[in-house]
A = this chain, B = another copy of it.
Amino acid sequence: MENGDRAGAGAGAVGSAGSLGLRVGQAVFSSASLLFMSVGVEFFSYTAFCFLVTIMGLVIPWSCTLAMIDVYSVFVGCPLRVPGVMFIVVVGDWVLSVLSFAAACSSAAVIDLLLEFHGSQCSPRFCGRYQLSAMMAFLSWFLTAASAIFNFWFVASM
């Protein structure tokens, strides 16, 4: 019973195959968001877009590092579930998930305002890429939040 509960609680926690999937998704979506926003588009004149680029630049290394830990745990078979490390992972996940959500919402609000009041200044090519970037940031946030919830649940039931 106790072991069954533990296994259920650890479904998406660090070191499981589910966690590896979430981390890969985060890395892919945040990279896509960063590329759509930064390559060939003038993002630096809007604070919200600079914030988005900064946060996505933080999410990518964080997700890649934890994906490597997951790969090691899944394929070599040494789950790294020390309470101290789990605590750092949970705090990092929460902070990054809050920041990426803030960045995605701010960018979406700015894009909406640009489309409404600056129809002439916001060409479809630019605004379409801004929108794609914000959408990718929302997807990346969603996966980061899922990771944070799974790990928090695991720590709380530890």
The CA of A156 and the CA of B152, in the complex, are separated in Å by 9
A to B CB contacts below 8 Å, 18 in the list? A46-B113, A47-B109, A47-B112, A47-B113, A48-B112, A48-B113, A101-B101, A101-B105, A102-B105, A105-B105, A106-B106, A106-B109, A109-B109, A109-B110, A110-B110, A110-B113, A152-B156, A156-B157
The CA of A101 and the CA of B100, in the complex, are separated in Å by 12
Number of A interface residues at 8 Å Cβ cutoff, please give it.
Answer: 19
Chain B neighbourhood of A110, CB < 8 A: 109-110, 113
With both beta carbons as reference points, the residue of chain B lying nearest to A115 in the complex is identified as: B47
The CA of A112 and the CA of B106, in the complex, are separated in Å by 10
Chain B neighbourhood of A157, CB < 8 A: 156-157
